[in-house]
Amino acid sequence: MALQANMGMPAAVSRKPTVTVLNIIQWLYKKYERWVPLLVFTFGFAWDTLTMTRVDSVADHVILTTYSMAIGIMIALTLRRQAGRARPEWILKLEPYFIAAMQFAFGGLFSSFVIFYFMSVSWTRTLFFFVILVVLLVGNEFLHHRLENPALLATLYSFCLISYLSLLLPTLFGSVATGVYLLAGVLSVGITLLVFGLGTLGAWMVRWRQLRTVGLCVAAVYLTVNLLHFANMIPPVPLALKSAGIYHKVAKTTSGYAVEYVAPPYYRFWKKWDDPFYLSPGEPVYCFTSIFAPRRIHVPVRHVWSVHNPGGDWYVTDRIGFDISGGREDGYRGFSRKRTLWPGRWRVEVETYQGRTLGRIDFTVVESPSPHPALTARTIQ
């Protein structure tokens, strides 16, 4: 009977767990969890580098505006939670993700700033501000547990706003005048104070303490950025020097600009202009530059020619100006010509009439041997 009973019962079947793509992803995430932030950071920066190529791109500005607005909304809601104010049920469900979302949005803004400001950095005094952006971009990856601090949020948010508005407003107004930059700073202060004011609305004691601290942080950011700006230590966004060089001859043709120069040695293959410049008696020197500017921007720039004195300082010999018009992908092209030079160290600084440095070309002038080295011709389109 026992045998019959056993025969009537189905045999136990052992089943292996089903392996799905989701299971694999979860396993990989747990195994390499400590490397995920670095991977996301690297991928995000690479993606922004490939996609954000023009400072006047409408799509890019829509993304950056969305980041800025999202951060402002999440800051206000975070402050209301800290003050014990009531929030809708759907907001309560989203709040646990605010810190990660703010970190992502800050990372997106800093990443775009690094890309756009890198295009304008001249590797002179403006390098300092670019280094600040890189530090903030990397440091943002370690701020996950500190993004509920109102003072830190005020500092980061006001800095992001003034940096972004300094890109946006010149593009909208078609001007890089000082007044446009000052307007960007005033708007950044006003928006930051509005966000924090809304976040503490109704909690008067909390509001006074936080707004006092927030005000000091915002004022410090505003003053610091303005000091750097007027000291010419911030890249002159949205303008950018695309290319520059020193030549024996530059002439405009129907197909571009025809230039002539002494070809460098093979181990300096990347330099396709004269350095050193082999000078013959009475021969002029040409400086050619290509400058990017957003559409609708018309701004005068100039080439400032300087020579290095034996005493160690630089003496300005000429300031030669010309206008540029924005919109061309490869930049607006122009050149200046100087006839009176002598052997020594020379430089040409490309700057706006407000004294904002776009870039600098350093080169050496030497007497030409006889016969003069052969010239190489090419066309810059």
Question: What is the identity of the amino acid at 248?
Answer: H
Of residues 261 and 78, more confidence is placed in 261
pLDDT higher than 50, residue 1: no
The reported pLDDT for the residue numbered 2 is 47
Cβ count near 124 (within 10 Å): 13
- Cα separation, 369 vs 372, in Å, equals 6
Could you give the CA distance from residue 205 to residue 193 in angstroms, rounded to a whole number? 16
**DSSP secondary structure string, 75-109?**
HHHHHHHHTT----HHHHHHGGGHHHHHHHHHHHH
Q: Would you tell me how many other CB atoms lie within 10 Å of the CB of residue 340?
A: 10
Whole-number average pLDDT of the chain: 83
Q: Is the pLDDT of residue 10 over 70?
A: no
Instruction: Please say if the pLDDT value at position 105 is more than 90.
Output: no
Query: What is the residue whose two structure tokens read 């460098």?
Result: 264
- d(CA 200, CA 183) in angstroms, rounded, equals 26
Residue 373 per-residue DSSP state: P
Q: Which of 224, 246, 243, 241 is nearest to 356 (CA)?
A: 241
**Residue 288: helix, strand or coil by DSSP?**
strand
- Burial 128-155, CB ≥16 within 10 A → b, else e: ebbebbeebbeebeebeeebeebeebbb
Bigger pLDDT: 224 vs 270: 224
Query: In this predicted structure, what is the pLDDT of residue 149?
Result: 87
> What SS3 class is residue 310?
coil
Which residue reads 């909690």 in tokens?
A: 203
> What's this model's pTM, rounded to 2 decimal places?
0.77
Predicted confidence band of residue 36 (pLDDT cuts 50, 70, 90): low
Structure-block tokens of residue 281:
């008696």
Q: If DSSP codes are grouped into helix, strand and coil, which group holds residue 337?
A: strand
Q: Give SS3 for 302.
A: strand
Element (H, E) at 58: helix 58-82
Extents of the domains making up the chain: 52-230, 240-380
Q: Which residues pair with 278 in a beta bridge?
A: 366
User: For the segment 216-241, what is each residue's pLDDT rounded down to a tens digit?
Assistant: 999 999 999 999 888 888 888 888 88
Query: CA–CA separation, 160 vs 181, rounded Å?
Result: 14
Domain 240-380 has CATH 2.60.40.1930: yes
- Do residues 168 and 69 lie in contact, with contact meaning Cβ atoms separated by under 8 Å? no
Higher pLDDT, 226 or 310: 226
Distance CA 264, CA 284 (A): 19
Question: In which band, very low, low, confident or very high, does the pLDDT at 118 lie, cut at 50, 70 and 90?
Answer: confident
Spatial separation of the C-alpha atoms in residues 168 and 173, rounded to whole Å: 9
Task: List, in sequence order, the alpha helices (H) in 174-203.
Answer: 178-199
The pLDDT confidence band at residue 92, using thresholds 50, 70 and 90, is confident
